[in-house]
Every structure is written in structure tokens, then in C-alpha cells.
Chains A and B, each alone.
Chain A
Amino acid sequence: MNIHEYQTKELIKSYGVPVPDGRVAHNVDNAVTVAEDLGGERWVVKAQIHAGGRGKGGGVKVASSLDEVRQFTDQMIGSQLVTPQTGENGRLVQRVLVEQACDIKKEYYLGMIIDRGSQRITVIASASGGMDIEEVAKTQPEKVIREAVDPAVGLMEFQCRKIAANIGLRGKQIHEASKLMRALYKCFREKDALLAEINPLAEMNDGSLMALDAKMSFDGNALYRRPSITEFRDFDEEDPKEVEASGHGLNYIALDGNVGCIVNGAGLAMATMDSISFHKGKPANFLDVGGGASPEKVGNAFRIVLQDPNVKIILVNIFAGINRCDWIAEGLIKAMQDQKIEVPVVVRLAGTNVEKGAAMLEESGLDFIMAENLDDAATRVMAILGGQAS
């Protein structure tokens, strides 16, 4: 689960990570009041959306007067901000973070992830701040410092000092950075984070360190024990179809093709999409109905897939393990009867009670196009789409 920059900064500040003075604002007057309260002569106005790359899209601006704070906030709030990560439609900006501008001497990178190689929480740091760390890792791998944390003892001070010295910090900065890293690590552990990124970590003119931009994401499987993080969830940042699907226990991700997919199991769902792609088609979505797929779940799956106007055909691919093909068939028949489905529906059933399920579909008299196996299913889908196009 992702959260906004202003929420991340609130959170890490409470752990002792220094961040610029600032507050979130929901409208223009609000933003000006925040700037006045903060005082000073220059402020940074930052659009709050979950996607990165905001600076490139005009979502981060430095204001030299209260009028400019007003002007920039007015431009941002209510606009669709397009960044390299949002797609061409962009994201609606509903609030901005107003901060006091700081004078920066140098920028560093500091991140924490759960590294899949070492299978441990790993600190990543670099003297090349403000850049995409993956890019730095590719072009100058020697500039990226990695330090895995032993979960039995946690992030040790010597490790922090080592990281700080290796990215070129000196004198009392080493102790300051060490304190900052340990604070961030404590937050990472206590809130079940998957990622924390301070980019840039800024060195001020007076030599002190500050988290100028900060991003965190959290483990959805641990939210049951992290109620304070759950409160940060912003549904406006999520696809409404995906939110609705998760409410029904379905895992749905919208894509940009025209073949709607209803599958059980994440791996088979991906393989089904791949099979369509292999036959030069384009999947409209990823959808996993999960283990115990009741007829209701199948009905909901159809409803959600068909909310996408691009869907021209639906491919149902079920390999029943704990599921049973007759339950799925019951759901399919009911969905076809209740929802007046106008697009062709290709069905491939396999596994537990497959004969019974296939017989039910056959006897229903409804227009299901039955496929023998995965390849046959994808081939039939493409043949029908080809027929529609000509």
C-alpha cells in the first residue's frame, strides 16, 4: 500500500527523521495560510499524488511570494498531473504540500527495501541523490552502497557509520546520518514497510541533513496489525474497479487490451494473458477469482470485467484444484442469464468435476464457446476477434 509524501513525512518525522517544515493544503486559501504560518521568503509547492516523477510534470514548484504560492496551488489542485509514471491520463491532484524552501549544498540517496536476493531488509545509499537509483545502479554500480540487516540484531550503528562514510559524509554528519538511518529503520520495522526511499537526502548549507522528498509503501498483508497505516489509505489513488474487486475477494488489474480474462490462480491468470499475447491478442485485465470461487464470485467477476468498455470477448480459464468446475459452471450460467452478456464467452474448464461442469454448460442451452485446452482457448478467442474485425 502506497501513501502520500506528506503522510510519509509526518510518519518519519515522528520517528526523528528531520524533514522540512510544512503542511498539507486542500485549497488555495489554505495553502497561502500554511505559507504565512511557516514564514520565510520562499516556499515549495508539491502536488500530492502517489506516482513519482512529479517534478517533470510540473507538480513541484518553488514560489518566491505568497502570490506565487496562490498561483501554483491554483494550477495544481483540480488538474490532471501527468508524470512518467501516471500514464497519459495523469492523476487528479486534490491537495498540495507547502514547505519552506531550503538551501541545499548536496544531494544523497537513502533507501530501504526487502531485498529478494539476501531475503533481508537492506539499506541502499548513494552519493548520487535526486536521480533514479536504478539508473545509477546500472550506469555506476560502484556508487551504490548496499548493507543487509541481520534481523536478529537489527541495523547496527557500525553499519550506519560505514554507509555514511562510504557515500562521503564527514565529521559529525556521520553520527547524524547514523541516527537518521536508525530512526528510519525503526519506522520500517514497526510499520511493516516494504520500501522507504529518501531521495534526495539533502545536505544543507550548515551541513545538517534533511529528508527533502520521502516515499514509503507498506505490506498489505500486515495492515491488520498496523491500524495507523491503514488510515493513510487514499482510495482516490486507486482504480475504482480494482477497489470493488478486492471488496469481493477478487484480484483485478485493469490493462489496455480487449480480451477480458476470468481465471483462477495468479500464475494461471498471468499465463492466460501470456497465451493471448502469444497469439497476438491483448488482454483487457488480470483477474484471479481465487481458491474458493463461489457462483457469486464468478458473477461479480463478470460484472467487473464488463465495466471496461473495451472488452470485446471474455475468456474464462479455470483449472479447479480446491475449486470445483460444477460450482464455476453454476456461476457462469447465472451470470449469463442475469447480466445479458452481449460479448462472446469462451470457456476452458479443467480439473476437479470437469465433466459435470461441462455438461451443465452444454445443457444450459446458453451460448458458451467451449475450448479444449489453453492453446485452443486463445486460438478461438483470436479467431472470433478476427471474424468481428473483418
Chain B
Amino acid sequence: MSVFVHQSSRVIIQGFTGQHATFHAEESMENGTNVVGGVTPGKGGQTHLDRPVFDTVSQAVRETGADVSGIFVPPPFAADAIMEALEAGIGVVVVIADGIPVQDMVRVKRYAMDCNAIIIGPNTPGIITPAACKVGIMPSHIYTPGRIGVVSRSGTLNYEAVQQMTELGMGQSTSVGIGGDPVNGTDFVTVLRAFEEDPDTDAVIMIGEIGGPQEVDAAQWAKDNMSKPVVGFVAGVSAPPGRRMGHAGAIISGQADTANAKMDLMEELGVHVVRNPALIGETANRVFS
């Protein structure tokens, strides 16, 4: 079945007619994603990439039956766009933007409490169920269909892990980028729960980084609730405290935020921890076979 996005997902793109959105929507469509239309306020009624353009998300949902939205609008407008998608009843909202003010996301999360939706991101490469549905900016060609779920905060480190898997013949059920921001839509626990419930996922690779408690929370959840094995890595062993390492959320604010502290705890909680990022694929192969 895969998680969150599937062959049957009907995808719209917010900010559809923009340059990046166009490029990535086209790439997704070539790789099997069912993009049913898009939204650019003021351009409703036009056609773009042979798909209808709407002024509002609710119009798009009404006309196309869309249930997934990829948000490609710039950071200052992203919070508004997310809430528009939630209000229109979209079930899975994928937010690519890197640089949304944190307090905007605090309000978005409050708004989302009343909606039964999944927000992926922000600051994520997106989500892909290989050969079925991709909403995001990752290169489709490195992913292959398979039975391992991948979830990560970083984009390029996700690619790195997937490449290592591919070289060893392991494919992915779904790969989810939860994003590098401190306040994000979906945490590791939510994704682990989805993978645990997915009959087409046998095992999970979880890739975290310095900052925040969510990797350890996820390991605790997995210990209490999961039957499937989890391989984990946390980036930033060599990062200095108090500095933001590229991602807004990748900052060591206290001892518990460090990569080693998190990996030690994850190990205690039963996660198969990899200490060398070059060996994520190899470790997964050993543990899962």
C-alpha cells in the first residue's frame, strides 16, 4: 500500500505556474504521479502542463477531487497556503519551502489540530512512493520500489541513504522527508506509526540530526509499539554547540541535543544505530535480512 501518497493519490500543486513548481510537477508526472491540476491565485481558468489552474484550493478540490497538495509558494506566503489547503479538506499537504518563520508554523500547527490531515515538511524534499507518486523535488531516478520505509529530516542525506540501499538491491515502500525545521508538520513518531501499519513495509530507516527530542521520542515509541526493525542514524556528531548547521532546527541547545546522546539513547531503546553515515545501507541490509 505505501504510506501517505499512493498510485491513486490525486495531486494538486499550489504555486503551480512558478518556475520550480513547473519543473518538478513535470518530472513527477513523467514518473507516474497523477497531477490533476494546480492553484495560482489570479490565474484561474488557464491551463498549465495540460492541467487546469484554479484561483483557490477549494475550487481545485471541488473540480478535481484532489486529496494531496504540493506547496511550492515562497516562505512568506507558505503558512497561508498550508491553512488554505487544510481548510479545503486536503488530506496530505507537502510543504517544500525552506525559510518559513517558526512562529508561522506554530500557528499552522494550532490550526491543523482541527483538521484530520498530514503536513509533510516544511523544508523538505518531499515524499515519494517510487513509481507511483512523488510530491517534492527529489530526483525520482534514485528511488526503486521495495519494502523498506525511509524517513529523514535532511534531503541530501536521504538521497545518500537511498543510493546506498539501491546499490545493495533494497527498494523503498515510501520515503518521507519530514524536514529540517524546529517546528514541523509531521514528526518521526507519526511516520513510524504509518510504516508499522503498512502491510507493504517490512522495516524502517530513520535518519535524524542534532537538535530537539524527536529521534529519542520515536525510538521510545518504536520500543513500545513496533514489531518492525528500525535502523537509525543521527547526523552532526562533529557539530559545535550553539550553531545552526544549515537547517533551522539543527542546533545543539543542550546535552540531550547532541548526536551521540541521541544515538546512545536510541541504541538503548532497541534501534539498530549506525555510527558511520557511509554504512547506513550496509547496516540495513545486515539487520533486515
Interface, chain A (partner B; CB < 8 A): 85, 114, 116-117, 119-121, 134, 150-152, 189, 192, 194, 219, 221-222, 224-225, 251, 253, 255, 263-278, 282-283, 286, 288, 291, 319-322, 350-352, 373-375, 378
In the complex, chain B residues whose CB is within 8 Å of the CB of A273? 236-239
* Interface residue from A219, A224, A269 paired with B103 (Cβ < 8 Å): A219
| Majority secondary structure, A binding face | mixed
Residue ranges of B at the interface with A (Cβ–Cβ < 8 Å): 75-76, 99-107, 109-110, 125, 137-139, 141-142, 152-160, 163-164, 180, 182-183, 207, 209-214, 233, 235-240, 242-243, 245-250, 254, 259, 275-279
Tell me, rounded to whole Å, the shortest Cβ–Cβ distance linking B74 to chain A: 10
* B240 A255 Cβ-Cβ under 8 A: yes
Partner of A319, one of B160, B236, B247: B160
- CB pair B142–A351 under 8 Å, yes or no, is yes
- The verdict on A321 contacting B276 (CB below 8 Å), with A117-B213, A194-B102, A219-B101 known, is no
Q: Are B239 and A352 in contact (CB under 8 A)?
A: no
Decide yes or no: A119 and B250 within 8 Å by CB, A267-B158, A268-B160 being known contacts: no
Quick check: B183 and A270 within 8 Å, CB to CB? Answer: no
Evaluate whether A221 and B248 lie within 8 angstroms (CB atoms) in the complex, with A117-B213, A283-B238 already known. Answer: yes
Would you give the shortest CB distance from A195 to chain B, in whole angstroms?
Answer: 9
CA distance A378 to B277 in the complex (A): 11
List the B residue with the shortest CB-CB distance to A373: B278
**Nearest chain-A residue to B154 (Cβ)?**
A267
Q: How many A-B residue pairs have CB under 8 A?
A: 174
Residue of A nearest to B247 (CB): A266
CB contacts (< 8 Å) of B104 on chain A: these are 222
Residue contact B156 to A267, C-beta cutoff 8 Å: yes
Given known A-B contacts A114-B182, A194-B102, A270 and B276 have beta carbons under 8 A apart: no
Looking across the interface, which residue of chain B has its beta carbon closest to that of A134? B254
Check if A119 sits within 8 Å of B75, measured CB to CB: no
Can you name 15 A-B pairs with beta carbons within 8 Å? A114-B102, A116-B182, A152-B110, A255-B240, A267-B153, A267-B155, A267-B156, A267-B157, A267-B207, A268-B156, A268-B160, A351-B139, A351-B163, A373-B164, A378-B278
The residues of B that contact A274 with a CB separation of less than 8 Å are 235-238, 259, 276-277
Q: Which of B137, B157, B246 contacts A286 (CB 8 A)?
A: B246
